[in-house]
Amino acid sequence: MMFKKITPMLVDGAAVQTARTLDVTNPATETLVAAVPEADAATLQAALTAAEKGFHVWSQTSPAARRKVIMAYADLLVKNQERLVELLRAETGKPLDNAEYDFGMLVTCLRFFVEEFERLDQPVLHDPDGRFLHYVQRQPLGVVVGMLAWNFPLLNLGYKLGPALAAGCSVIIKPSPLTPLASLEAAHLAKAAGFPDGVINVVTGSDHAVMAALLNSKVPALVTMIGSTRGGLEVMKASVTSVKHFSLELGGNAPVVVYPDADVRAAAHKVVDLKFANSGQVCVSPNRCFVHASVHDEFVTAAKESAASVKMGPLISAQARENVLKLVRNAVADGAQLVCGGQAVAGKGFFMEPTILRNVARTMKTASDEIFGPVLPIIRYTDADDVIALANDTDCGLAAYVFTKDLAKGLRAARDIKAGSVCVNEPHYSVQLPHGGLKQSGMGKDCSRYSIAEYLTLKRVSVLLEK
């Protein structure tokens, strides 16, 4: 029997094991990397109790003292970067540059949100009678349960830890069972940085029935999640045992609109660059590319040229790859044409060729479903007045992209496309910019000062100045 290294959970500042474990596999090599515990009911209850205790301590800690600990934590993570990146690559199969970006965003988020919290105002409110002093206090909301996706494990951790810790909340983090290792390793460094026990807790497992205890509990004040729309709905259903806040970043089906006056080659390069980032496993990835008929062929040619130089890691699992390949096969059977790719890469690992499809119809699943893989469907359109309706023809509304040299046209498209973010002429994302969706793509915001608001409650205080 092969020895398996087991990475423990973190609950109340202590390493925790359970009787059952969950294997973690490297999708680039298909080899066993390690195992993590399957959380049981007792462990989850301990995490809830610890987080309550941690919140009481951390919420009463001064912002200056919290800043010192969080900044020390960020510095400690940097000192352990090599180990964390190694674990990240082992559980995701990411190329080195992608893994380093993923790690770097965790550190960036921790530092950014500390600084952004200090810039929040606590306004004095006008009193029409002149008898009261009214002001607003921003106070930490409470215990936070954060459920993470597997595509960017440490970035996602930063999106949740950064604002929660800066605001004074305690957290229970549940990473994806596919990619828990780097998150656990990062969490175990928290005590050395000076966090009180119970402020940061990480539990692992794949048993949804067991994990539901986190959501059923009345302890969490906020449930925040990055994942699929279906998963988000299940989380909300399981959480309605008490009044809770939600911040959910869910599925996307991002449209691209390329107008006839666009810089076509530049647009193709930028779309391809984003589409095949992280092997297409990105929530804001271009998923439906509407290109005007007058520039369609030029765009297809330029996109194929750009795709030829793409270097990608694997998809997260054999099943994930098969799901994407099936979408491609079905699209071709229904009349779409392969421009390039369309096949699994031979050998070990769940690799797939960068794939471009043309002659895609709006009714195909490649145009209606989130692909979450390295496939770019290109859809020809002729009516510029109708293309916004085409872009909005989805239940999702996370991100969108527009390419045009006409600023007024770009601004109108940005106004009319129903998405949480619209980028004109170049995709752009940063921790300083709010990120979140409309429609079935979720609620609330990650990143920016608007994210901190998800972790704070507003209290109005009125003081009588005269009798």
What residues are labeled active site? 249, 283
Quote the Cα angle for 291-270-97, to 5°. Answer: 145
- Burial of residue 429 (CB within 10 Å: 0-12, 13-18, 19+) is middle
Distance of alpha carbon 65 from the chain centroid: 29
Which tokens sit at 200? 């940061």
Q: What is the Cα–Cα distance from 347 to 384, expressed in whole angstroms?
A: 45
CB–CB of 222/144 below 8 Å?
Answer: yes
Q: What is the Cα–Cα distance from 63 to 37, expressed in whole angstroms?
A: 34
CB–CB of 105/158 below 8 Å?
Answer: yes
Q: What is the Cα–Cα distance from 349 to 347, expressed in whole angstroms?
A: 7
Distance of alpha carbon 355 from the chain centroid: 24
CB–CB of 91/26 below 8 Å?
Answer: yes
Q: Which long-range contacts (CB under 8 A, 24 or more apart) does 330-333 make?
A: 330/364, 330/365, 330/366, 331/357, 331/360, 331/364, 331/365, 331/366, 331/377, 332/357
Q: What is the Cα–Cα distance from 185 to 77, expressed in whole angstroms?
A: 10
